[in-house]
Amino acid sequence: MNSFELNKIFGAILGTLVFVMGVGFLAEAIYAPIENRGATYELPLPEGTGEQAAEAEPQAVSIAERLQTASADTGANLINRCQSCHDYSASNENRTGPGLWNIVGRPIANHEGFAYSDALASLGEAGDSWTYENLDAFIESPRNFAPGTKMTFAGLSNPEDRANLIAFLREQADNPEPLPEAPAEPAGEDQAEPADAIENGEPTLEPVPVEDTVEAAEEAAQEAEANEAAAGDEPAAH
């Protein structure tokens, strides 16, 4: 095969490639999608996304409310995982962790003879104490509550478990701290007093007793009968 025939073959191959590429460019130019032309309709987002999803997330129940139904007996079963490091009896001895007798309401990092981490010691120096809220946050995640704490316990993620455990710890005291009051439920917007509605310029409708409605209907009927009777007694006009 001489060079002339080889050139013909290479030329045919090259021409085919150029043709295919040209067809591809032409197709892209013809069938390119048209954007931002004319009226458009935005599809609604699926339910449970964006701001609606954030509003739908249930709010966490406060420890004060959870303690109203917490069980100290259930908390006694949960303390088993803590007793290897803590003494919660009246002897209140230090082990790997400090004693937990009288822990509710006690100042943070205040147990005598225990070497606390700098994280908890700084909270104690700032005047913080083991309130129900602080205990709830610490038991949920010691590392998040006091970054740098020496406590290796990962925490209890279940809010009811934490409330039951705190209810048990509350009873391990000479004089247990009073339970917190449950937060008051906020009044709904539709429960406004009539006086408030008048001040806001809103008309108010008061319900009418059924008895008054019946009496008004009877009086109207009697008055109509009297008018008909009076009309029948009048002389006809000439």
Q: 122 lies in which domain range? A: 63-171
Tell me the range of 24-33, 140-149, 179-188 where mean pLDDT is highest: 140-149
Answer whether residue 133 is part of any domain: yes
What does the pLDDT look like over 188-215, one tens digit per residue? 544 545 555 445 555 555 555 555 655 6
Answer whether residue 23 is part of any domain: no
Answer whether residue 92 is part of any domain: yes
> Could you give the number of structural domains in the chain?
1
Higher pLDDT, 127 or 184: 127
Domain containing residue 104: CATH number? 1.10.760.10
What does the pLDDT look like over 79-89, one tens digit per residue? 888 888 899 89
Answer whether residue 41 is part of any domain: no
* CA dist list (Å): 125 to 102, 109, 120, 187: 19, 8, 9, 40
The Cα 27–Cα 150 span in angstroms is 68
Answer whether residue 201 is part of any domain: no
Answer whether residue 140 is part of any domain: yes
* Cα-based torsion angle of the residue sequence 151, 116, 119, 88 in order, rounded to the nearest 10 degrees: 50
Answer whether residue 199 is part of any domain: no
pTM listed for this prediction: 0.57
Answer whether residue 16 is part of any domain: no
